[in-house]
Chains A and B, each alone.
Chain A
Amino acid sequence: MTPTRVPVVEKILDANDQVAQQNRALFDHHRTFAINVMASPGAGKTTFILKTLEGLSPRYRMAVIEGDTAPVTIDADKISALGLPVVQINTGGDCHLDAVMLHAGLQSLPLDGVDIVLIENVGNLICPAAFKLGSHLNLLVASTPEGDDKPYKYPNMYRGIDVLIINKMDLIPYIDFNMAYFQQGVEILNPGLRTFPVSAKTGEGMSEWINWLDEVVQQHRKK
C-alpha cells in the first residue's frame, strides 16, 4: 500500500455557506430583508428587537425568528404578544444558529408579505460569528456592562458585522466603561463601522438607528 496525497483545499464550513446562499435566495425571492441579531447573553437583544419592531411599525410588516438553546418560549411569547409572526428554533444546546437550522425554521414562517425578518441568534460572541445564515445585515448588540475590552477579546465577531449597537448607554454613569478604548478596538477590527449608542430601555438613540435601518431597507428594495 502506497500512501497518496489527495489535494482537497475545501473550506471547512463550505456546506453551511452553501445553505446560507439558499436562504439568501429565499429571502430575495420574497423581497424580505433579513437581519441577523447577535450578542452575548444579557446584552438586551430581545428588548432591542421589541423596540425596533415598535419603531418600524406600521411602516413595515415584520416577523421574528428566535434562536434559543433551550425549549423555553420566554422571548417568543413577547413577540407573539405584539401580534407578529414568530418562529422559535431550539438549537438543542448548540451554541449558535447555523444556515441549516434557519432553513428548517423558515419552512414554518410564510415570508409572503414579510418586509423585514429579525433573526435573534443564540447569546454568544464566538460561535455565531463563524456560521453565515444568509442574512442581508449582520448586527451586534454590545452592551456597556459587558466591559470595554470585548472587541479585543472577540475579534471575529467584531470583524464580521455590518452595524454595531452599543446598548445600555443609560448605565454609563454607574460603571467603568471607557468608550474611547472600546471604539479604538472596533476601529482596528472593522474600520468605519456604523455604530449606534442606544438605550433600548429608555429609548435614547433608538430613533437614529430606526431611521438608518429604514433608509437601508428602502435602498435594498430599490435593487
Chain B
Amino acid sequence: MKKILTLSTALTAVAFAAQADVTVMSWGGAYSQSQLEAYAKPYTAQTGVKVNMVDADNPATPVKAMVEASNVTVDVADVEYADAIRLCDEGMLETIDPAMLPAAPDGTPATEDFLPGALTDCAVSTIVFSTVFAYDTSKFPEGPKSIADFFDLEKFPGKRAMRKGAKANLEMALMADGVPAADVYATLETPEGLDRAFAMLDKIKKDTIWWEAGAQPPQLLADGEVAMTTAYNGRIFAAAVAENKPFQVVWDGQVLEYDLFVIPKGAPNLEEAKKFVAFATDTQRLADQAKWISYGPARKSSGPLVGLYQDGKTEMGPHMPTSAENLTNALPSSYEFWVDRDSELNERFNAWLAAN
C-alpha cells in the first residue's frame, strides 16, 4: 500500500513538473521564430522545461486584459518600451531585480552591460530594432542616401509609405528638415517644432500610403505599390536576404527602440518565468538571436559575438541597427516623450490625416 502511495506521489510530482512549462507571448513571424531558436530551444535543452510560444498582434493588449480579469495564462511577454512603462505603472507587471540577471562573461554586472535605459523596474530589453526607410534598387539605381531624400519628391519621384501613427514619423520628418538627432525631442516639445514636423509630412502626404502591420511595407515595395517606405529594419532584411528582393535600407535618420521581456502579475509559473528571462537575456543568447533576425542585442558584451546569418554567408554586422557605421545619424526613441504625449499627438495626427 505504502509503495503504491509513494509511486503515485512520484507520478503526480512528475506530472506537476511537466506542467510547469513557460509560456511566452510574442509578435509572431520571423521575430518569434528567432526567439524560439535562440532562447527557447536551448532553454529546453538545458533545463528540460518546455517553452510554448504564442503570438499576439501586440502582446501588451492581451496582457492587460488577462491581468485585469485575473486569468493570466502567459508567463513572459515581449512588449514595446512605452507599453512596458505603462503596464508597470498600472501595477500589471512583476518587478524584475537586475541582480538576478547574469553578468557578462568578463564579469561586468548586468546593470552596466545592458545599453543605457535597457533595464527598467519591470522589464529587461532583449533587442534593439529600428524604424528605417528602404527603397527598391531597381527603381533608383542612384539611390537616396539621406532621410531628407525620403521627403524629396522632385529628386526621387514615386509613392511613399509610412506607418499610420505619429511615433517615428514626426522624428524622421524633423531630421529630414535638418534638425540634429540630439535636438529632435526638444524641438517636438515646442508648438513651432511640431508644426514644422507636420509641414514636412505635408510635402509627401498626397503621395503616401499608410501601413499598419509590420508585414505590409515589404509587401508594398515588392508589389511596386511604393518606391520607398519606412519599415522595421528586420522585415526589410528578411525580404532582401532571405527572399532576394532588391531592397536597400537607408540607415540615415533611423529611430531606435528596444523590445523588452516582461512578466505579467499573476503569471502561473513565476519562478520559471524569471529563470527563463535571466537565461534568454544572457550575453550568448542575445548574440545568437542575431543569427535569425537583424535586430541588435541589448547587451554591449553580445556585440562582438554576433556572427553570420543562418544561411552561413551573410555577415550580420552591417545589417544591425546598432553597428557603428549605421549610427552616424540615429535617434534613440524617447519613451518619456511618447508616454507623455501619445494621445494628444495621435489625435492631431489622425486629424491631420483626415483633413484633405
> Are the chains A and B members of one assembly?
no
